[in-house]
Structure 1
Amino acid sequence: MRAADFLDRLPETRRPVPWLVLLCLLLWLPGFFTIPAGDRDESRFAQASRQMVETHDYVRIRLGEVERNKKPAGIHWLQAGAVHALEAVGIPARTQIWAYRLPSLIGALIAVLATCLLGRALVGRRAAFLAAAMLAPCMVLLVETHIAKTDAALLATITIAMGLMGRAYLTPDSFTPRQAAAFWAVLGAGVLLKGPIAPMIPLLAGVTLSVMDRPAGGPWWRLSAPWLRALHAGWGIPLMVLCAAPWFVAIGIATEGRFFSEALGGDMLDKVSSGEEAHWGPPGMYTAIFGITAFPSAWIVLRSLPGSWADRMQAPVRFLLAWAVPTWLLFEAVATKLPHYTLPAFPALMLLGARWAMDPLRQAAPRWIAWLSVAALAGVAVGLPLLAGAAVFRVEGRFDPFAIAGVGAGIFLVWALLRMAGQAQWGRAALAGAILAIPLYACILEGVIPRIQAVWLSPRLAAQVAAVAPGLPARDFGVVGHHEPSLQFAMGGDIRLLRDGAAAADFLADAPGRIVAVNDRQEAAFRRAAADRGLTLRELGTVTGLNYVRGRWVAMSLFKVE
């Protein structure tokens, strides 16, 4: 069978799940096991989950000795459960970062499958398969599958909930109470993952649909919402609350209310009112970077938007727009900007793009959108491996063959897709984009990133400590000048994060057998403080690397007392 025939016939498959699972694994597994724990969020989440496993305290969330009152415990339960399951079958997983990434990978896979299976009611079987295949390679989702945190799992709950809501909207008379219960239960699970984000998406969509469906000429308060009755909100909302309430009650008691004051008053309000942790961005930023975050599928979605807006009176399109547009606008208005925040809108956008690609009567995009979409496709396909290669050369002074291979893969992807677009084979081009992204991503994720030794300072420092002091308890190791969570994950939550060189000298003097790592900026002060205390130091080696979070080179020297 010719490749073109295969691409044309694949959306017709009666068994979409195996094909989509295969596609997702080919896209996501490169780098999944080999990229070390990253700073800062991934290592924070993973280390907090590891401490749950070690302490068997599944209510409170702690990072080292500090309470982490930011997000609910749902993702930590999933990560701890993954570790327990792996260890139950004899796989030592507690110190392996990939074990904590499993819930992200599984959540992303569920989101892709839900887009296909639940999206059929909205755009048809063929377009739903194509939309799922377009979602799988989106760069922001690819990144989230490689990070042990909440957002890929959250996407799974939102996609399922919105797929069910779409069915209630289109066919309220056939929507069953069991489906309604599933809708509210999955939103309850979403609350346990990231608080109000999960129920906020259907709420925004529901308000938008109520306004759009308002009877012409009637008063503004008269709504037409038979789908709302089908969802049984009267008992559904209490069911959602019941799914999440036990842990919230328990954490409120365990922290004496600190969780709510810190999570709501600190974490959430800071994100809305100011750019938390220097992550501020202007309104419109997500739109500007959509060609990157949704690569390689963005160029199809961008072309579909004018036609989707023109078809907004069609109920399925209206629902998808009500899902995507208010969600997008809300996150554009929030001061804190991170690329994954708009991810809950991606399944809807992919369904709109796939519907347009599969429609033989599709409306052609304006020329400026067509040029913009091609520029986004080519810019990312070639620019991503070039950027990776430039980073390797800048940091380590060498040319990376995998980056060069990635450039070739990117050029071939652009050539192949533009050739299909020239023949108006948009469905084929959308599916080919997902498949041809596999070698491009593999070159970067498996070939380039794990091999940039300079940026993986924490695991190299932990390996050096293990080499010079095998079996050293974490509590007997102190560090000055590199307080990154990745070091806590590499060495354990009991390591001592010391303030300065004087504190490091005190740490060594307090008990025999201890080791400290001191950065180059504090080393002179540390040596003076050690001399003042009459300590004879023995240097055990130096590890130099780039702290990419702070953007500066660090030399960490190890010391013990003779």
Structure 2
Amino acid sequence: MASTETISPAKQSSSERLEGLALPLLFIIACLLYLPGLGSYGPLDPTDSFFIEGARELFETKQYLLPMFNYQIWLDKPILYFWLVVACYKILGVSAFAGRLASALSAVATGLVIYAGAKRTLGIRQAFAAALIFLSFPLVSVIGHESLTDMTLTFLMTSALLGFYNYLSKPSWPVIILAYLALGLAFLCKGPVAVVIVAAIVFLYFCALADYSDFKSFVASIWQNTLRLRPFSGLGIMLAVNLPWYTAATLQTKGAFLYAFFITQNFGRMAGKVNHIEPFWYYIPVIAGGLFPLNLILFSRYDAFVSAIKNRKASGDKPQALVFFALVWALLVLVLFGAIKTKLATYILPAMPPLAMLTAYSLFYWLKVGSAKKLAPSALFFIIAGIAGLVVPHVVKASWVMVMLREQSLLLILTIIVGIAYGLLLLKNKAIPAFALLLLSAAVGVGICVPVGHRVFYNEVHRPFEVMIEKVIADQAMIATVVTEEPSISYFLHRHIDVLNTPLEARAYLERRQLNGSQLAPHYVLVPQKCLKDMEWFPAGAVELSKIRKWTLFKLN
């Protein structure tokens, strides 16, 4: 916890050495958790492969203004993340590793930003723990091992929010400029959702700090705090970052980009008119599994958070002030995306940095007040998880998850051992070694299990589909899909893939001819299971060549 007592020269020298080592050590740990195995599995349909392939098409065609998908202009996302992936391709060449590197490095950078943004308030050790906790959340690790915009967005939003918080307690022009630059880049990465969420968090935080004596004073205090953040200068920075590209994209598409992106994508998702509609409780299991086992600490000291709420008006350099800010931040993201009909696990990723800080605060609160042995029963979750992981795969065998668990038997046995050791340490009230063991096991667990899990998932689910595509390549065949499209097809074939949505389009595809030397290329079609009824579009019939999961490959007569 932060301390106000006088620090001796010897302690100050030790603290300076610790601070000098913390950042490079955190960087090394983060890279070890996120880079090994990043390219050990191919593109994962539909989203990971979409960004890997979309950026590859920009790289191939040298068209860098607008995102592409299946060799056509795609208007659903801004350009920043595609540029980052293209930059990785230019440096490393096209590969799955390079295609995911921007996301993985964004996770690493977010951990560094959490440490840098929290250390003045929480202290070096607690800020380091918060960063390590963030990097060790399974949900964060899974997303950081895929090519998605969400991790880059989270990095930029975290930079902006911690920048604003630190500027309020200790004004500095470089800090506020970097904060608005990050927010502007977040808009270029994902659109207005970033600015809306950040603005809502800051506004609610100001509301909580406001003078409630009367309405006029309430509004005045919010306005004064808002002006402290230099909003007009910030608007200028954000416009300078975004206006050139958004203007060029709008002009190039004759206004189509504005409608497709702002109306269809942003408002459509909020209204539930886009895919991924889920029930209100969707995020409960996501948080339960996506933060395990560190959520055992997060939810164990709610009294510390209640105290932070009561002392929310404390000076900005006090730990409780940052804890309250983190509470507002996390709760707004979780409540907002919980209320929206369209839900994906990736949507709540921006809540992970504040939840990591809250977990670290809770952990250090236990160290401060003692009585850590009260946590000993939580060790049972480790033991139960390990036993379940060993037993379930021998009962249920029809899932890639079961395959992964069978391959990780040794790690599951170690999980049980760690659970027993963790519980015994807590019973002896040895909090420091117990929590060190918890953090180490969480970090090592995601560092091993997440890339292995992705590789197993790829081999079990996606590799058979690639074998289909390899047959298309070997037979030098023409290929189309019915209704549904998969980005990985274009990734392997390096060409546009027709998507047939009507009988007329099917007939036009059959009438096309392609010569392979002196012979006509055969017509192949990939059909998802839900569209097998549409094979009536091909009256001459077809021969089934292979079938895996939802896809069937046909050779048309």
Does 2:544 correspond to 1:546? Answer: no
Partner of residue 498 from structure 1, selected from 497, 500, 503:
500
Does 2:165 correspond to 1:157? Answer: no
- Quote the offset at 1:388 in angstroms: 7.2
2: CA distance between counterparts of 1:385 and 1:25? 30
- Which amino acid letter does the alignment assign opposite residue 76 of structure 1? F
Q: 1:160-192 deviations in whole A, cap 9, x for unaligned?
A: 112212212323xxx212211111111001101
Question: Which residue of structure 2 aligns with residue 145 of structure 1?
Answer: 144
Q: Would the aligned equivalents of 2:80 and 2:189 in 1 still touch at CA under 8 Å? A: yes
- Quote the offset at 1:466 in angstroms: 3.2
Unaligned runs of 5+ in 1: 1-8, 88-92, 548-553
Partner of residue 295 from structure 2, selected from 281, 298, 301:
298
Q: Would the aligned equivalents of 2:137 and 2:446 in 1 still touch at CA under 8 Å? A: no
SS in 1 for 2:83: helix
Question: Which residue of structure 1 aligns with residue 113 of structure 2?
Answer: 114
1: CA distance between counterparts of 2:44 and 2:283? 23
Partner of residue 341 from structure 2, selected from 335, 358, 367:
335
Question: Which residue of structure 1 aligns with residue 201 of structure 2?
Answer: 205
Does 2:515 correspond to 1:516? Answer: no
Stretch of structure 1 that moved more, 249-258 or 493-502: 493-502
1:405-444 matched pairs, under 5 angstroms = 405-426=410-431, 428-437=433-442, 440-441=445-446, 444=449
Q: 1:380-402 deviations in whole A, cap 9, x for unaligned?
A: 56656777787754469979741
Q: 1:330-382 deviations in whole A, cap 9, x for unaligned?
A: 12211112112222122112112212212333487998x996x6676556566
- Quote the offset at 1:194 in angstroms: 0.9
- Quote the offset at 1:50 in angstroms: 1.6
Change (3 A) 1:278 1:229: closer
Q: Would the aligned equivalents of 2:379 and 2:422 in 1 still touch at CA under 8 Å? A: no
2: CA distance between counterparts of 1:389 and 1:170? 56
Question: Which residue of structure 1 aligns with residue 286 of structure 2?
Answer: 289
Q: Would the aligned equivalents of 2:142 and 2:450 in 1 still touch at CA under 8 Å? A: no
Question: Which residue of structure 2 aligns with residue 344 of structure 1?
Answer: 350
Partner of residue 256 from structure 2, selected from 249, 252, 258:
258
1: CA distance between counterparts of 2:400 and 2:334? 36
2: CA distance between counterparts of 1:28 and 1:384? 24
2: CA distance between counterparts of 1:160 and 1:358? 24
Question: Which residue of structure 2 aligns with residue 123 of structure 1?
Answer: 122
- Quote the offset at 1:116 in angstroms: 0.9
2: CA distance between counterparts of 1:398 and 1:348? 34
Q: Would the aligned equivalents of 1:137 and 1:295 in 2 still touch at CA under 8 Å? A: no
SS in 2 for 1:47: helix
TM-score, L = length of structure 2: 0.82
Question: Which residue of structure 1 aligns with residue 4 of structure 2?
Answer: none
Question: Which residue of structure 2 aligns with residue 3 of structure 1?
Answer: none
Partner of residue 18 from structure 1, selected from 13, 24, 34:
24
Question: Which residue of structure 1 aligns with residue 175 of structure 2?
Answer: 179
Change (3 A) 1:518 1:344: closer
Unaligned runs of 5+ in 2: 1-14, 312-319, 514-519
Change (3 A) 1:506 1:178: closer
- Quote the offset at 1:249 in angstroms: 0.8
Q: Would the aligned equivalents of 1:409 and 1:439 in 2 still touch at CA under 8 Å? A: no
1:224-243 matched pairs, under 5 angstroms = 228-243=226-241
2: CA distance between counterparts of 1:400 and 1:376? 17
2: CA distance between counterparts of 1:148 and 1:426? 38
2: CA distance between counterparts of 1:53 and 1:74? 14
1: CA distance between counterparts of 2:432 and 2:195? 33
Stretch of structure 1 that moved more, 403-412 or 220-229: 220-229
SS in 1 for 2:136: coil
1: CA distance between counterparts of 2:242 and 2:355? 29
2: CA distance between counterparts of 1:66 and 1:243? 26
Q: Would the aligned equivalents of 2:386 and 2:412 in 1 still touch at CA under 8 Å? A: yes
- Quote the offset at 1:502 in angstroms: 9.0
Q: Would the aligned equivalents of 1:112 and 1:132 in 2 still touch at CA under 8 Å? A: yes
Change (3 A) 1:153 1:393: same
2: CA distance between counterparts of 1:393 and 1:351? 39
TM-score, L = length of structure 1: 0.81
Change (3 A) 1:441 1:396: closer
- Which amino acid letter does the alignment assign opposite residue 121 of structure 2? L
Change (3 A) 1:383 1:252: farther
Does 2:69 correspond to 1:73? Answer: no
Question: Which residue of structure 1 aligns with residue 368 of structure 2?
Answer: 361
- Quote the offset at 1:498 in angstroms: 3.4
1: CA distance between counterparts of 2:225 and 2:534? 68
| CA-based RMSD | 3.6
2: CA distance between counterparts of 1:520 and 1:266? 26
Question: Which residue of structure 1 aligns with residue 132 of structure 2?
Answer: 133
SS in 2 for 1:353: helix
Question: Which residue of structure 2 aligns with residue 90 of structure 1?
Answer: none
- Quote the offset at 1:71 in angstroms: 1.7
- Which amino acid letter does the alignment assign opposite residue 176 of structure 1? S
Change (3 A) 1:34 1:505: farther
Does 2:31 correspond to 1:28? Answer: no
Change (3 A) 1:459 1:400: same
Q: 1:287-321 deviations in whole A, cap 9, x for unaligned?
A: 45312111232111111333122222142222222
Question: Which residue of structure 1 aligns with residue 185 of structure 2?
Answer: 189
- Quote the offset at 1:107 in angstroms: 0.5
Q: 1:117-171 deviations in whole A, cap 9, x for unaligned?
A: 1111231111000011111011111111121110111111112112212212323
